[in-house]
Amino acid sequence: MAAELRPWLAPSATGPVTTTVRLPGSKSMTARALILAALADGSSVIEAPLEARDTTLMSAGLRALGVAVDTSAGDRWLVEPGPLRGPARVDVGLAGTIMRFLPPVAGLAEGTVEFDGDPHARKRPMGPILDALRSLGVRVEASPTGGLPLTVHGAGQVEGGEAVVDASGSSQFVSGLLLSAARFSKGLTLRHAGPPVPSAPHLRMTTHMLRAAGAVVDESVPDVWVVEPGPLRGRTWTIEPDLSGALPFFAAAMVTGGAVTLAGWPAASWQPVERLAELLTAFGAEVTRPAGGLTVRGTGTLRGVTADLSEVSEMTPVLAALAALADGPSELRGVEHIRGHETDRIAALAAELTKLGAGVTEFRDGLRIEPRPLRGASFETYADHRMAHAAAVVGLSVPGVRLTDVGCTSKTLPEFPELWAGLAARS
Ligand SMILES: O=C(O)C1=C[C@@H](OP(=O)(O)O)[C@@H](O)[C@H](O)C1
Ligand SMILES: C=C(OP(=O)(O)O)C(=O)O
């Protein structure tokens, strides 16, 4: 069920934002930990998980399949695997991680599992992963458009073996298949065939976490992943703070000439912190890693950049907001597939930044953004948390940016409006 719209006037900053923020765990790591815990041969603990719509719905989906997921302690979730079974219904909300990671798990269940989600979830691409699942022996019925709503007729086991997928539309097609693959009778040899797979760091997060759960994974050949059949171990997962969720807060430092530190940042991370640091440095920021933190400092200069964002595609909306406030033009390319994200993000950014007064050229795979004097306007958020983050960043320096809905931020950071208001108040 989509929630009621919550219109919101983005607060403006009156001076530099200098603060330390504590943010919840990574959405992507929490989703993977939940799946691997559900498929393990013993219980698991997930420390510092993300508590937000995407991960709450993932927990509910796993419970519907027979897994005991106890989220009552908030910052310490307990997962006790059980025999996977239908009949079950799974609400995916608007979460790519649920719609791509759970159908392979449903194939391992005994019984029928029905999947559906928000209106826009029905438009997100699913065909390639469903075709690959079918080729591995799973019976799947999809809507005439090839996506949600869909039904997986689980047979209690998946044969597995070799499959080919075109994952140019989403790295999640690969991650979703790999996460369940150790439990397929023959394991999985998956080959990608098509234009490059985006979001490579998310694939590395998948294989890293699979290995940490005891799976044997070979990714030595480009575009080929081999997962041996075998057990997954229950374990304690400690989730890192969400880097993409932190980006709007870092952007606040850059836009206002302040400094924002993300507390609890680990010495070694499985999120693309190096790539993000490169990009923010190109925009003019200084990025440092004090012990236990990650700090982004605005230097008073915000430069336009030309960059391929395919590795960090989910960060495009906030980076586009920075580009609209920069002192020269930017070209953000290499992200055609984000037209299949929570909304068509390229079209949405072009429309909304244009409304604010920026000069925007839309390409098939990205945007050219020419900064011009901006003005307040109504900013449509398209049920997309990261469009809301982008609007909030522009709103810091442009009074009168009115979001049609800030409630959509509950997808990955329900406390966003309050955290953001607190941040602006400290400027
Ligand atoms: O596996 C994951 O957790 C994700 C992979 C990426 O998906 P795409 O490859 O579809 O961009 C990313 O954008 C998304 O927010 C999360
Ligand atoms: C693309 C995103 O999400 P999803 O996991 O729903 O694909 C995102 O969070 O920016």
Ligand closest to the CA atom of residue 310: 1
Nearest residue to 18 (alpha-carbon basis) of 254, 227, 355: 254
**Which of the listed residues 308, 313, 346, 389 should we mutate to test ligand 1's pocket, taking the one with most ligand atoms within 8 A of CB?**
313
What is the band of 2 on the pLDDT scale with cuts at 50, 70, 90? Answer: low
CATH of domain 8-23+241-425: 3.65.10.10
This model of the complex carries an ipTM of: 0.99
Please tell me the predicted confidence (pLDDT) of residue 1. Answer: 47
Q: Edge-to-edge strand order for the sheet containing 378-379? A: 8-9, 402-403, 378-379
Query: Distance from CA of residue 410 to its chain's centroid?
Result: 13
| Residue owning tokens 């995916």 | 92
Cα 336 to ligand 1 centroid, rounded to whole Å? 13
Q: Is the pLDDT of residue 358 over 60?
A: yes
pLDDT tens digits along 71-117: 999 999 999 999 999 999 999 999 999 999 999 999 999 999 999 99
Ligand 2 contact via 32 beta carbon (within 6 Å) = no
Please tell me the predicted confidence (pLDDT) of residue 318. Answer: 98
Cα 340 to ligand 2 centroid, rounded to whole Å? 10
Query: Are 8-23+241-425 and 27-238 in the same CATH fold?
Result: yes
Backbone φ, ψ for residue 376 (5° rounding): -65, 150
pLDDT tens digits along 291-325: 999 999 999 899 999 999 999 999 999 999 999 99
Ligand closest to the CA atom of residue 52: 2
pLDDT tens digits along 223-274: 999 999 999 999 999 999 999 999 999 999 999 999 999 999 999 999 999 9
Ligand 2 contact via 95 beta carbon (within 6 Å) = yes
What are the distances in angstroms from CA 67 to CA 42, 105, 134? 11, 11, 24
Query: Distance from CA of residue 314 to its chain's centroid?
Result: 6
Q: Percent of the chain having pLDDT more than 70?
A: 99
What is the model's pTM? 0.98
pLDDT tens digits along 130-160: 999 999 999 999 999 999 999 999 999 999 9
Cα 312 to ligand 1 centroid, rounded to whole Å? 9
Atom of ligand 2 nearest to the CA of 95: 6
Q: Which helix (H) or strand (E) holds 108?
A: helix 96-108
Ligand 2 contact via 81 beta carbon (within 6 Å) = no
What residues act catalytically?
A: 314
82's tokens: 């059980």
CATH of domain 27-238: 3.65.10.10
pLDDT tens digits along 177-198: 999 999 999 999 999 999 999 9
User: Which residue has a Cα nearest atom 16 of ligand 1?
Assistant: 28
Span 395-421, mean pLDDT?
98
CB 77 within 8 Å of CB 267:
no
Q: Is the pLDDT of residue 62 over 80?
A: yes
Q: Is the pLDDT of residue 64 over 60?
A: yes
Quick count: other Cβ atoms within 10 Å of Cβ 255?
24
Q: Is the pLDDT of residue 45 over 90?
A: yes
Q: Percent of the chain having pLDDT more than 90?
A: 98
How would you classify residue 354: left for phi > 0, otherwise alpha for psi between -120 and 50, otherwise beta?
alpha
Beta bridge partners of 69: 79
Cα 134 to ligand 1 centroid, rounded to whole Å? 22
Distance CA 228, CA 250 (A): 40
Please tell me the predicted confidence (pLDDT) of residue 300. Answer: 87
Ordered by start, the domain boundaries in the chain are: 8-23+241-425, 27-238
Please tell me the predicted confidence (pLDDT) of residue 132. Answer: 98
Amino acid at 139: R
